Amino acid sequence: MLTLLKNPQGPISKQVLLVVLDGVGYTEHGIKEGNAIAAAKMPVLKKLWSEHPSVFLRAHGTAVGMPSDEDMGNSEVGHNVLGSGRIFDQGAKLVSASIASGSLFEGPIWKKIIDQVKTKTSTLHFLGLFSDGNVHSHIDHLKAMIDVAKNESVKRIRIHILLDGRDVPEKSSLEYLTPFESLLDSLRAKGLDIAIASGGGRMEITMDRYDADWSMVERGWKIHVLGEGRKFKSAREAIETFYNEDPKLIDQYMPGFVVCDENGIPLGEVKDNDSVIFFNFRGDRSIEISRAFTEESFSFFDRVRFPKIEFAGMMQYDGDSFIPKQYLVSPPQIDRTMGEYLVNEGVAQYAISETQKYGHVTFFWNGNKSGYFNQSLETYEEVKSDIIPFDQKPEMKAKEITDTLVLAIQSHKYPFLRVNYPNGDMVGHTGNMEATIKGLEYLDACIDRLVKICKETNTLMFITADHGNADEMYQLDKKGNPQISTKGEPVPKTSHTLNPVQFVAFDPDSEIQFRKDLKSYGLANVAATVLDALGFQAPEGYHESLIKR
């Protein structure tokens, strides 16, 4: 059983609260560069950051297990690192390495997928996020698999593209489509029957998560599998038509579309004996569509027909529930998380967020593991998210989260509590600067309540973030200046940033100080810091505590 050593100097506090302000990074750029945090009236947080012990933490690239420091962090890898105190190679890096080494194509699942379409003279389908955002997927992975499938004599390939506009510029789909169409033309010239068969925006179809809106998955099923939807002669025609019909439309919200031949027949329905690869590597938005493709007993919507196919995910998206059973690349094996250690020490824990980030303070925090280590010592609270665009209600469920969290703090039942407020990330992803500012200002009022209750209960509060987003709401050029659209307005940015995040302590006893002698500071230091505050030494392999003792 995993155990912890006591810190000889004892605990700093009997109750520790960790607040994760999702998407709230730090940059010296100001309001004119799209820094919603600088623009927002947040007297409480800004006072904490300026007057209380704080350090900057790296939250992107190699600091969270991504392939390079040009790669953005994200909520999933961020919470993996926060909860485990260490850095593990993550999905993008694992997939890229398996493609480069060829091991992906030598595995039994790839061979099974390919053998199915060759022996049955059927279709190989690729479905996934169509960009190089490297958060959920990478278009280069798709290209590599197409190339190998062609070389292995697959005759018919159909591609179902989910448009991004969230981890990449908001209206960038044609920048990915144009060179991809040229690639398809060259392959067709060599005799391969290959085409884009369907598509739509990632926030409109297919990529729901946490059971928030199964109707998204149903819409995707109708588009990709049944070939039911608005018909176009090509993906380009669909995208350009939707842009013209609604100039404000951005890629992530583009309606679904079906590509048809000259007779109006869909090019790529999924049928019996086909094979389907879902090429996203990140788990949260891959689980539901995987279940739709694989579960015999299924009640979330009427699939109309359930084709008998071979299905594989790029990775296994839920290891505890074995979703999906077939996958191409093994996910990182994250062990010895802080939550498991604390349970073994008999320390009760509390985790809360709303639906959009509930899985981050539970599943991802616990090393991509579903359920509890010990339910008698763990309380998980989910506040149901509204199913509307987040810029329409930028406060989201911050009040309800805070109401419930305050009661948990006052109960004194939980030595360790953690909470995720999604506003900076989820509203930031809409690209709506004004709404993001409003969301942050509402968040500040909630932090004010937490400061007061921490004073009353003598609770040590740490506040940090998992990555940046709201700190950079405009696309910046290489000189750091906003890019300007043809309308003379700054081009919105909807993706995460490469900026650090702040880690600040609110200590009612005003005693805590942070170290200045560490070689590097990152999200991986947070777990040891929390354990230190609770009176435990960091386990072997954990990054060091930030606390100066």
Structure letter (DSSP) for residue 74:
-
Secondary element (H or E) of residue 21:
strand 16-21
Active site residue 75: yes
Is 7 within 8 Å of 535 (Cβ atoms)? yes
Q: Are strands 231-232 and 257-259 parallel, antiparallel or unpaired?
A: parallel
Q: Which of 191, 213, 217, 188 is nearest to 205 (CA)?
A: 217
Binding residues for substrate: 136, 166-167, 202, 209, 282-285, 357
Q: Are 174 and 206 in contact (CB under 8 A)?
A: no
**What are the tokens at 103?**
């091991």
Distance, CA of 485 to CA of 494 (rounded, Å): 15
Q: How far is CA 329 from CA 78, 107, 315, 431, in A?
A: 21, 9, 5, 33
* Displacement of CA 478 from its chain's centroid (Å): 26
Question: Tokens 């149903």 appear where?
Answer: 218
Bridge partners of 125, per DSSP, are: 158, 276
- DSSP assignments along 119-147, one per residue: HTT--EEEEEE-SS-SSS--HHHHHHHHH
The CA distance from 303 to 301, in Å, is 6
Closest CA to 409 of 459, 447, 367: 459
CA R_g for the chain: 24
CA dihedral 35, 39, 44, 48 (to 10 degrees): 40
* Alpha-carbon span 404 to 381, nearest angstrom: 8
Is the distance from CB of 474 to CB of 85 less than 8 angstroms? Answer: no
Q: Which residues carry a binding-site annotation?
A: 22, 75, 136, 166-167, 202, 209, 282-285, 357, 425, 429, 466-467, 496
* H or E stretch at 214: helix 214-221
Residue 363 tokens read as: 């599943």
**Rounded to whole angstroms, how far apart are CA atoms 354 and 167?**
22
Alpha-carbon distance 269 to 259, whole Å? Answer: 10
Strand partners, 378: 349
CB distance 206 to 196 below 8 Å: no
Choose the catalytic residue: 75, 137, 286, 353. 75
Annotated binding site for Mn(2+): 22, 75, 425, 429, 466-467, 496
- Which two tokens mark 355? 């639906």
The catalytic residues are: 75
